Amino acid sequence: MITICAVKFRYERCFKRSYTANCVAVVVPDEDEIKKTASSKGWEGDFVELCKLKEVKEYVMEEMNKVAKESQLSGFEKARNILVHPEQFSLENGLLTPTFKNKRPAFEKKFSEELETLYADSS
C-alpha cells in the first residue's frame, strides 16, 4: 500500500509505503525553471530529455532538501529518492481524482517499476 507522506503539502506527490522506512517522490518540476537552470548550466535537450538527466535529478533533490530544511521536516518526512517526471498529473491521464488528490492505485500501476527502483536505491 502507498500512503502519502506528511510532506505532501510541501512536496507534491510524495509516497511512502506503510512497510518501508523511506519516503520517495515522483516530481514534476516547473518546466520554465528547469529550462532556465539547464541553460545556465549548459545542459541540453527538450524538457522530456532534461527530466532524464542525472544532473536535473540532483538539482531537484537539492531544491527539495532546501524546502525540507526550511520546513524543519523530520528525517522520515524527507524524500530519499525521486523520479523526475515530465508529465503533469491530471484527471485526463487518470492520476488525479476530481478533487485533485492522488489516485494511489493508478500511481502504483503507472510507476510500479520506477517505485521499486527508487525504494531499492534509497535503502
- Mean pLDDT, consecutive 10-residue segments, the chain of 123 residues? 39 59 83 93 97 95 85 81 89 90 86 90 80
- The reported pLDDT for the residue numbered 17 is 64
Q: Is the pTM above the cut of 0.75?
A: yes
Predicted local distance difference test score (pLDDT) of residue 5: 45
Closest CA to 25 of 94, 82, 86, 98: 82
Predicted local confidence at residue 88, as pLDDT: 86
